[in-house]
Amino acid sequence: MSQPDPALDPHCLFCKIVHGHIPAAKVLETYHAVAFLDIHPVNPGHVLILPKAHHPHLADLPDELSAHLASLLPRLCRAVRAATGADGLNLIVNNGMAAGQTIDHLHWHIIPRFRDDTVDWPWPQGEYVGDELGQMQFRIERELSPADDESE
């Protein structure tokens, strides 16, 4: 994998944490990624994991880096579950302000969940009408490049 981009976005809080300019309770660190406790947890043990390089959204992430981050998730999930006694976990990535992203440096939330917790979930869901589902399938498939198909 290529070297992480050492450039720091001076406006990015998570870049400042990555570069040690702001403290954080780190639980895991590799050459390309870091995980630390969210300072305002949904439940205690709420962890954030992110690439060290500044990438705003998952859609911008190089495949190699994405694969590295994903490879750390099972071990991190096991650790959070064992440390908190959680009955379940939510893994969430908020991408874009409209989706609730407040810090513009891609990160996964790993949120411990308990059978009796008061977290307001799930969110409301809708339904497709007529051929809307098929049309949406067509539109998304059309946007996926042939190169994506070949890499499978």
Q: Tell how strand 47-51 and strand 33-37 pair up.
A: antiparallel
Output the smallest distance, CB 107 to Zn ion, in A: 9
Calpha distance 147→151 (Å, rounded): 6
In terms of CB distance, is 98 or 144 closer to ligand 5GP? 98
Query: Which of Zn ion, ligand 5GP, none does residue 9 bind to, with CB < 5 to 8 Å depending on kind?
Result: Zn ion
User: Are the beta carbons of 51 and 108 closer than 8 angstroms?
Assistant: no
- Does 105 engage in binding with Zn ion (CB under 5 A)? yes
- Phi first, then psi: give them for residue 101, nearest 5 degrees: -75, 125
Which of Zn ion, ligand 5GP, none is residue 27 near (CB under 5 to 8 Å by kind)?
A: none
> One of 46, 55, 105, 107 is an active-site residue; which one?
107
Q: Which of 95, 104, 110 is nearest to 54 (CA)?
A: 104
d(C-alpha 117, C-alpha 91), whole Å:
16
* Interface segment toward ligand 5GP; rule CB under 6 A; list 38-46, 53-61, 79-87, 120-128: 38-46
Stretch that binds ligand 5GP, among 3-11, 33-41, 77-85, 122-130 (CB under 6 A): 33-41
Residues found near Zn ion in the complex (CB under 5 A): 9, 12, 14-15, 54, 105
